[in-house]
């Protein structure tokens, strides 16, 4: 009986499906830009001048918000939102699950006479009190005090989220415990920005920028993702519940790189892209879709860089928008780092720079020796920070899902190194030898009295195999996973940069105070940085085997899995670092560590149970049906006196036996009580569940190549990846 084969039904449904036309075809995306954002311009129009000035000062210079203006801002925001058709408001925050959470309330309060009054006071804008008990906190909240508070992030604009069932005013907030400890990803981001900015400004002062505007960090996140037809998605309980395929043989070798599939973007994907662009534009997210997919069914979008915390909010909103618009077009958007085994995975490159409105990015070489000295000092700060804290950077991208991608020969390895480009590497080489007097390749080298070179602005080449690459005006951190929030890597980058900039500023200030000429002090500083930390610079092929050995010889850590990486969060030096710059206290660090382990064990636990269930109820029955047919055929042929070959029967029976054994092992592993700590559970997931799942998959994938096509119940890689 094959009538209920969900896979075959899905294929029919896909064929019959007519995707909707893109809404966006009807208008210019530029016309809708920012229409749903309570922008700084909107505030200027709507707020009394003094109130506007006060809020603008908070946004632009990080001045504390004056609570006295809150009522006035809230009233203007409410009027704007009501005009836009909003009926509810929501405090939006980013709990430690890495997802987005919202608490919705109505603007309207019922009155005694049966009518309703739109209420939205300043204190409601500034602070909310969602029921926090369902969000992970890693031990930060006692069960009798499950409360958490949201607080308005003035620097990230409020916006309206449109829904078929009504519109909601969304207010970006932080989420903290009653004692002020961070329960979210935004609080530390704001704290770390401030620390980094402060010490960067000290260095700028030394270079003569007395009135420099506030230094902030910028983030331009490039997002990779897959699209699959929703009929297939719904026929794959593993994709639906775990975000990745737990079964499936790879498409025939080489096919994923077949030119045929790169020719044109399928019409419905274009429709999806136009609609997402339009929705993002309405929300003031400057994102242009791009089409440089590597795997079939894979695409990328790169929003313009923005201030770190705004970029992080926009990133979350982007993912939500993509999911919603994809559904509308009959597709599912997959953000998992490795939805398809053996096929290129998805990352989220974090393009990182620091700077301000006056000077732009501080990672851009200048056109005279003085400016170049400044550029080299800021680059030196990065080299020092990444070398000293590479373990923390690795931990900032650690998750059960990203483990499938890092080091899988398509993504940066788990070893954190920096690619500087030939030219910059050459200059630091020369600095290490005592002086930099010539520039490799193109461009002029000007040797001033200060012996520091003039650099051409374009470093030219690229290295896709490096996890951390200088790309002309920024550093690109390529290890973050496609699904994760950019906040965690940004917090880490800001904090390790704060420490580096602090140390550098302190050294330079002391040298100047002692009467050392500034140029000499800079030269000495750069020499010591490259001598002490140059080991992290690597311009070669990060995917090669030899790099693993060389990195080990250089003393660079290779933290392969999340389990190896997370303990970096609670080393003495890590806690000292985060405490010193007031980004996390020790309790908060331990809480992140605990939540990281919990999430890891949870993710693998879900996958393991799904593997057991699908293996038992979907794969095994299909294989047994096939086996029965083969056996019946064997019997029939024997009865006819044909002496049939027993090979085919053995061929299917062996992997069936293997599958049964593997399922038993997995069932037993799931029944084990792993221990009482989050670490014990995570370790059990890593040591027992993952190998048991792999064994089930191996047998099941063999069966996929044997079982008759009309009996196979799960949409295949071929179908999911190539049919859009």
Judged by CB under 6 A, which stretch of 135-143, 192-200, 215-223, 526-534 contacts ligand ADP? Answer: 215-223
Beta strands 306-307 and 127-128, pairing class? unpaired
Q: Which is nearer to ligand ADP, 305 or 578 (CB)?
A: 305
**C-alpha gyration radius of the chain:** 28
Q: Under the criterion CB under 6 A, does residue 361 sit at the interface with ligand ADP?
A: yes
Least separation, in Å, of the C-beta of 300 and ligand ADP?
A: 9
- Helix-strand-coil split of the chain, %, nearest 5: 50, 15, 35
In this chain, which stretch among 55-63, 131-139, 214-222, 413-421 interacts with ligand ADP, using CB under 6 A?
A: 214-222
With binding defined as CB under 6 A, does residue 223 bind ligand ADP?
Answer: no
Query: Half-sphere exposure of residue 413, counting CA atoms within 13 Å on the CB side?
Result: 22
Residue 500 CB, nearest approach to ligand ADP (Å): 18
Q: How many CB atoms lie within 10 A of CB 702?
A: 19
449 burial level (CB within 10 Å; 0-12, 13-18, 19+): exposed
* CA 670 – CA 710 distance, rounded (Å): 32
Among 220, 271, 345, 365, indicate the residue that binds ligand ADP (CB under 6 A). Answer: 220
CB 620 within 8 A of CB 663: yes
Nearer to ligand ADP, 222 or 607 (CB): 222
Residue (420 or 624) nearer to ligand ADP, CB: 420
Q: Which is nearer to ligand ADP, 76 or 359 (CB)?
A: 359
Under the binding rule (CB under 6 A), the answer on residue 222 touching ligand ADP is yes
Q: Which is nearer to ligand ADP, 322 or 679 (CB)?
A: 322
To the nearest whole angstrom, how small is the minimum distance from the Cβ of residue 407 to ligand ADP? 21
Task: Give DSSP secondary structure letters for 534-602.
Answer: GGGB--S-TTSHHHHHHHHHTT--B--SHHHHGGGGGSHHHHHHHHHTTS--HHHHHHHHHHHHHHHHH
* Tokens (6 digits) for 295: 């795997």
What minimum distance in Å lies between the beta carbon of 178 and ligand ADP? 36
Q: Which is nearer to ligand ADP, 95 or 412 (CB)?
A: 412
464 binds ligand ADP (CB under 6 A): no
Q: Is position 284 an interface residue for ligand ADP (rule: CB under 6 A)? A: no
Q: Report the DSSP beta bridge partners of residue 647.
A: none
For residue 179, the surrounding DSSP H or E stretch is none
> Among residues 173, 473, 527, 611, which is the contact residue for ligand ADP, using CB under 6 A?
473
Q: Which stretch binds ligand ADP (CB under 6 A): 301-309, 332-340, 449-457, 488-496?
A: 301-309
**With respect to ligand ADP, which residue has the nearer C-beta, 53 or 288?**
288
Residue 304 in the binding site for ligand ADP (CB under 6 A): yes
What separation in angstroms does the CA of 394 have from each of 22, 189, 373, 562? 40, 17, 30, 9
296 counts as binding ligand ADP under rule CB under 6 A: no
CB of 476 to ligand ADP, least distance (A): 7
**Please, which residues bridge with residue 350 across strands?**
221, 477
Whether 167 and 160 have beta carbons less than 8 Å apart is answered as yes
Counting contacts by CB under 6 A, is residue 193 touching ligand ADP? no
Total residues at interface with ligand ADP (CB under 6 A) = 12
Question: Under the criterion CB under 6 A, does residue 477 sit at the interface with ligand ADP?
Answer: no
Select the residue interacting with ligand ADP from 351, 390, 465, 494 (CB under 6 A). 351
Rule CB under 6 A: say whether 303 interacts with ligand ADP.
Answer: yes
- CA–CA distance, 147 with 156 (Å, rounded to integer): 24
Cα gap 385→477, rounded to integer Å: 13
CB 395 within 8 A of CB 402: no
Closer Cβ to ligand ADP, 197 or 243, answer by number? 197
Q: How many Å apart are CA 423 and CA 21, to the nearest integer?
A: 49
Shorter beta-carbon distance to ligand ADP: residue 295 or 569: 295
Contact between residue 364 and residue 475 where contact means Cβ atoms under 8 Å apart: no
Q: Is 305 in the site for ligand ADP (CB under 6 A)?
A: yes
Query: CB 40 → ligand ADP: shortest distance, Å?
Result: 20
474 binding ligand ADP? (CB under 6 A): yes
Joined tokens for residue 176: 């903290």
Distance of CA 4 to the CA centre of its chain: 39
Closest CA to 94 of 195, 221, 225, 188: 188
Q: In the complex with ligand ADP, which residue's Cβ is closer, 316 or 591?
A: 316
Residue 328: exposed, middle, or buried by beta-carbon count in 10 A (0-12, 13-18, 19+)?
Answer: middle
* Distance separating alpha carbons of residues 338 and 527, to the nearest angstrom: 41
In the complex, the smallest distance separating the C-beta of residue 304 from ligand ADP, rounded to whole angstroms, is 4
Judged by CB under 6 A, the residue of 215, 302, 469, 666 near ligand ADP is 302
Q: Nearest to residue 282, comparing CAs of 32, 57, 110, 496? A: 32
Contact window for ligand ADP (CB under 6 A) among 90-98, 107-115, 299-307, 586-594: 299-307
* CB closer to ligand ADP out of 363 and 578: 363
Count CA atoms within 13 Å of residue 138 on its CB side. 22
Show the site string, 601-640: x = touches ligand ADP by CB under 6 A, - = not. Answer: ----------------------------------------
Does residue 391 bind ligand ADP (CB under 6 A)?
no
Interface residue list for ligand ADP (CB under 6 A): 218, 220, 222, 302-305, 351, 353, 361, 473-474
């Amino acid at each position: 009986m094959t009538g209920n084969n969900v896979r075959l039904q899905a294929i029919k449904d896909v064929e019959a499906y007519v995707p909707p036309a893109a809404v966006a075809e009807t208008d210019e995306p530029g016309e809708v830009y920012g229409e749903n954002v309570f922008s700084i311009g909107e505030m200027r129009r709507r707020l009394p001048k003094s109130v506007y000035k006060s809020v603008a000062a908070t946004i632009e210079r990080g001045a504390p918000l004056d609570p006295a203006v809150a009522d006035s801002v809230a009233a203007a925001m409410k009027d704007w939102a009501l005009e836009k058709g909003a009926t509810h408001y929501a405090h939006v925050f980013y709990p430690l699950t890495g997802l987005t959470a919202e608490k919705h309330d109505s603007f309207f309060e019922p009155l005694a006479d049966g009518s309703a009054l739109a209420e939205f006071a300043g204190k409601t804008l500034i602070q909310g009190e969602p029921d926090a008990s369902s969000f992970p906190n890693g031990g930060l909240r006692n069960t009798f005090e499950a409360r958490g508070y949201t607080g308005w992030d003035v620097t990230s604009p409020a916006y309206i989220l449109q829904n078929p069932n009504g519109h909601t005013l969304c207010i970006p907030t932080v989420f903290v415990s009653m004692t002020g400890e961070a329960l979210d990803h935004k609080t530390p981001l704001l704290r770390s920005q401030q620390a980094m900015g402060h010490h960067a400004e000290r260095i700028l002062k030394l270079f003569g920028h007395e009135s420099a505007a506030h230094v902030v960090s910028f983030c331009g996140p490039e997002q990779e993702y897959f699209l699959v037809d929703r009929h297939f998605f719904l026929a794959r309980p593993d994709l639906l519940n775990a975000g990745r395929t737990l079964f499936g043989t790879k498409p025939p070798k080489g096919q994923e790189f077949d030119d045929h599939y790169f020719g044109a973007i399928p019409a419905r994907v274009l429709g999806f892209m136009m609609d997402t662009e339009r929705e993002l534009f309405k929300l003031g997210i400057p994102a242009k879709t791009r089409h440089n997919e590597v795997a079939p069914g894979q695409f990328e979008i790169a929003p313009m860089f923005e201030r770190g915390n705004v970029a992080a909010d926009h990133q979350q909103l982007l993912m939500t928008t993509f999911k919603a618009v994809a559904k509308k077009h009959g597709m599912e958007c997959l953000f998992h780092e490795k939805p398809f085994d053996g096929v290129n995975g998805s990352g989220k490159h974090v393009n990182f720079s620091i700077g301000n409105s006056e000077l732009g990015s501080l990672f851009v070489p200048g056109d005279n020796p003085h400016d170049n000295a400044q550029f080299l000092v800021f680059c030196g700060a990065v080299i020092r920070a990444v070398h000293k804290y590479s373990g923390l950077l690795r931990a900032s991208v650690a998750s059960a899902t990203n483990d499938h991608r890092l080091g899988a020969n398509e993504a940066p390895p788990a070893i954190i190194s920096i690619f500087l480009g030939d030219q910059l590497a050459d200059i630091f080489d020369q600095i290490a030898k005592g002086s930099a007097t010539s520039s490799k390749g193109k461009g002029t080298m000007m040797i001033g009295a200060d012996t520091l070179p003039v650099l051409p602005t374009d470093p030219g080449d690229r290295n896709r195999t490096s996890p951390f690459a200088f790309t002309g005006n920024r550093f690109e951190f390529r290890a973050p996973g496609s699904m994760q929030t950019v906040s965690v890597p940004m917090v880490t980058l800001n904090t390790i940069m704060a420490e580096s900039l602090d140390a550098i500023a302190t050294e330079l200030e002391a040298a100047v105070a002692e009467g050392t000429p500034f140029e000499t002090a800079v030269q000495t500083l750069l020499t010591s940085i490259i001598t002490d930390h140059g080991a992290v610079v690597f311009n070669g092929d990060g995917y090669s085997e030899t790099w693993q050995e060389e990195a080990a010889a250089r003393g660079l850590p290779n933290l392969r899995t999340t389990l190896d990486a997370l303990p970096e969060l609670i080393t003495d030096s890590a806690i000292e670092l985060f405490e010193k710059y007031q980004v996390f206290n020790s309790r908060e660090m331990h809480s992140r560590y605990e939540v990281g382990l919990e999430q890891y064990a949870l993710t693998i636990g879900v996958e393991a149970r799904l593997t057991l269930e699908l293996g038992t109820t979907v794969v095994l029955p299909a294989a047994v049906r096939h086996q029965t047919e083969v056996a019946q055929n064997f019997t029939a042929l024997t009865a006819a006196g044909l002496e049939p070959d027993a090979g085919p029967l053995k061929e299917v029976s062996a992997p069936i036996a293997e599958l049964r054994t593997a399922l038993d092992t997995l069932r037993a592993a799931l029944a084990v009580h792993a221990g009482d700590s989050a670490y014990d559970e995570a370790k059990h997931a890593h040591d027992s569940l993952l190998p048991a799942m792999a064994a089930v998959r191996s047998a099941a994938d063999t069966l996929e190549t044997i079982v008759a096509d009309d009996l196979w119940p799960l949409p295949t890689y071929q179908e999911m990846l190539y049919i859009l």
